[in-house]
Amino acid sequence: MIMRVLIAACAAAPLLVTAPALGQALGSGEGPVDISADDFEAFDAQGMGVYTGDVNVVRGNVRLRADRLEAYYVRRDTGGPELQRIVAEGDVFYITEDEIARGDRGTYDLTEEVIELMGSVVLTQGCNVSTGEYLHAELANGVARLEGGENSSGRVRSVFFTDEDAAAAQSSQDCPQPVIPGDGPRPYEAPEG
């Protein structure tokens, strides 16, 4: 998990962490990639689709949420698209069972297995929170780097709770939880007939 490794590495600056939780990425998950949004435009000649309005990408227990998403693909020999890269903008959230990562913009390169979040990055695991301006996570080797930037005075900040403090904060509702905008993923409904 990102936050568990942040605890072990919090004395390092700039922060270098491993990220096994990000290994649950959309491209390496089980089952189909399910994308729902208010609107969709296809640009087949460019190998791109644009989704807008409360966009939710779900694969297994992993979810990506954004206001706008560009999905880049190549055509397989069978003619179907193969998703290569995702660019997400506006209230971007990457959500696993244990963690929530938030940024203003995100990219996910399925070929290189790299996730990046930029702008007001917040990583949350339970009560533990880390903030910065840029997250680069390499899924194949389990290494991630969180950096500060202009908006954070060039610094990364992490707040870690002991198990006792976290349990007390959770029971008293003092544990900060990010509010994820939008309606959430819409369940897939097979066409009739």
Neighbours of 61 (CB within 10 A): 12
pLDDT tens, position by position, 139-149: 889 898 999 97
Judged against a pLDDT cut of 50, whether residue 109 lies above it is answered with yes
**Residue 145 near residue 14, CB atoms below 8 Å:** yes
Residue 105's domain is classified under what CATH number?
2.60.450.10
Q: What percent of the chain has pLDDT over 90?
A: 40
Rounded to an integer, the average pLDDT of 158-176 is 70
Q: What percent of the chain has pLDDT over 70?
A: 75
Average pLDDT score over the chain: 79
Q: What is the count of structural domains for the chain? A: 1
In a domain, 184, yes or no: no
pLDDT tier at 24, thresholds 50, 70, 90: low
Rounded to an integer, the average pLDDT of 177-183 is 82
In a domain, 187, yes or no: no
CA atoms within 13 A on the CB side of 2: 34
